[in-house]
Structure 1
Amino acid sequence: MTAQLNPRGDVAVLVPAAGAGVRLGPGRPKALRLLAGEPLLVHAVRRLAAAPSVHTIVVAAPVADVEAVRDLLAPVAPVSVVPGGAHRQASVAAALAAVPAGPEIVLVHDAARALTPAELIESVAAAVRAGADAVIPVLPVVDTVKEVDSEERVLGTVDRSALRAVQTPQGFRRAVLAAAHAGAGDPLTDDAGLVEKQGVPVRCVPGSEYALKITRPFDLTLAEHLLAADGVASDSSVARTLF
């Protein structure tokens, strides 16, 4: 049986968390790397659970760690854990298949965006609830962007006014996301890309600086400073016992 968080909620959240995270260096899969004493996945699930609209959370974990992840998350929130796939798209599909009947709004969220505030989760869900088929949170691109060739020679400067950096959670009507995965070809980096290929319009909503993606060692350092500035304490006893 899939765990339920808020019986009055109308949102299911899928968390693909089976990736290796090679850019963070050698060690545990990315979602299980420690941030201020707790795995990134714990931080992410805690914030998802704080969003009133969330009814169900399904985590796609590394195959070898499914039971350990269930034990890890049990004290945090009611969460269902399924084996992930060989790549992100397969993990999302596995998590989607485990969502029970009921929620018709589905969000897909990266465990690496461990500090995403509940307010952003609610904002994305609200946009789908208001009628959008697909919604992504975005931030303006602030750096100058250059197009280069295979030898790193500059071909030109890209107009950044029309560019946006995309975050998660990405939100979808359940039927739209299911159809996109059913018709998926080569793996893409995000689910919005899948629905775009189906010709479905994707709406943007303002993102959050706190929803940064923890990809490199520097990102972990930045996230720790953000946590410290917010005065968030961590209890790492469970994390250290399991991992």
Structure 2
Amino acid sequence: MSDEPLPPRTAAVIPAAGRGVRLGPGAPKALRALNGTPMLVHAVRAMAASRAVSLVVVVAPPEEAATAAVRNLLTEVALPDRTDVVVVPGGETRQESVRRGLDALPDDITIVLVHDAARPLVPVDTVDSVIEAVRDGAPAVVPALPLADTVKEVVPGERGEPEPVVATPERARLRAVQTPQGFDRDTLVRAHGAVEAQGEDATDCAGLVERLGQRVVVVPGHEEAFKVTRPLDLVLAEAVLARRRANDGF
């Protein structure tokens, strides 16, 4: 037997318990169809496309029937033999759902990806770049893109009302963050524990790590890793899939 240490095992946690009301009435956002296939299935396949990912934990809506439906859906999905899928019920908030996903991980997982089900088209090269940066020693890694638009900081007002501008941040220093975000497992567990003890909630796991005073680094994101939030995003996602089919036989 070789004395060389085995590479760290990586798991992806996909919180998919949200309703996604901005997409309009209908099924939960993660189950909306793209090219006839639920977004969640596309997201699971995107994580499993990385040879480094050996486990995908999907955090489903907390209702028993909804969790069972997601579990049944994913049993029909063909994935590489190297990748297992586990479905667990989620919580009332994204943070609680991620924490439940972390609780489901076996002890030998040392790197954790947290990925939005609503980013179903992230390329495998982006996933691999995040994992590699964690393997190289970064406790937290996020893929991100430079901003194309100038950003204004304002005093929030009522919807539709004029809002006074208070600052214009330097655009060159800003990035639009995507997922999967990657973490050293122990660091992410400590970050969630610290915020839970304070009774707070958060939607960005990397932000929790920042609060610990740990280093968070950015790697290049990808334009196809956009978040499907509004009806127009569904149209764009369908167009991306059509282009992939035409170019790559996807």
Residue aligning to 1:173? 184
Residue aligning to 1:241? none
CA distance 1:9–1:45, shift in 2 (3 Å):
farther
Structure 2 regions of 5+ residues with no counterpart?
1-5, 158-162
One-letter amino acid matched to 1:205: V
**How many residue pairs were aligned?**
228
Q: Tell me if 1:157 matches 2:168.
A: yes
1:48 is paired with a residue of what secondary structure?
helix
Q: Equivalents in 2 of 1:197, 1:101: separation in Å?
A: 25
Shift of 1:75: 2.5
One-letter amino acid matched to 1:228: A
Residue aligning to 2:15? 16
CA deviation string 1:173-212 (max 9, x = no partner):
0000010111114111210011111111101100011100
Q: Equivalents in 2 of 1:110, 1:41: separation in Å?
A: 9
TM-score (norm: length of structure 1):
0.90
Q: Equivalents in 2 of 1:8, 1:72: separation in Å?
A: 31
Q: Tell me if 1:118 matches 2:129.
A: no
- For the Cα contact (< 8 Å) 1:9–1:54, is it kept in 2? no
- For the Cα contact (< 8 Å) 2:8–2:110, is it kept in 1? no
Residue aligning to 2:28? 29
CA deviation string 1:10-46 (max 9, x = no partner):
2010000001101111121111111111111000001
Residue aligning to 2:67? 66
The match for 1:138 among 144, 162, 184 is 144
Q: Equivalents in 2 of 1:31, 1:200: separation in Å?
A: 31
Q: Equivalents in 2 of 1:216, 1:176: separation in Å?
A: 33
Residue aligning to 2:228? 214
1:13 is paired with a residue of what secondary structure?
strand
Residue aligning to 2:97? 91
Higher mean displacement: 7-16 or 80-89: 7-16
Alignment of 1:183-222 (within 5 A): 183-184=194-195, 185=198, 186-222=200-236
Q: Equivalents in 2 of 1:62, 1:88: separation in Å?
A: 11
Larger Rg computed on CA atoms: 2
Q: Equivalents in 2 of 1:33, 1:63: separation in Å?
A: 18
Residue aligning to 1:54? 53
TM-score (norm: length of structure 2):
0.87
Q: Equivalents in 1 of 2:114, 2:243: separation in Å?
A: 27
Structure 1 regions of 5+ residues with no counterpart?
1-6, 235-243
One-letter amino acid matched to 2:15: P
Q: Equivalents in 1 of 2:138, 2:99: separation in Å?
A: 21
Q: Which 4+ residue blocks in structure 1 deviate beyond 3 angstroms?
A: none
Q: Tell me if 1:100 matches 2:99.
A: no
2:109 is paired with a residue of what secondary structure?
coil
Q: Equivalents in 2 of 1:9, 1:36: separation in Å?
A: 35
Shift of 1:119: 1.1
1:105 is paired with a residue of what secondary structure?
strand
Q: Equivalents in 2 of 1:156, 1:132: separation in Å?
A: 32
Shift of 1:9: 7.0
Higher mean displacement: 181-190 or 114-123: 181-190
Identity %: 54
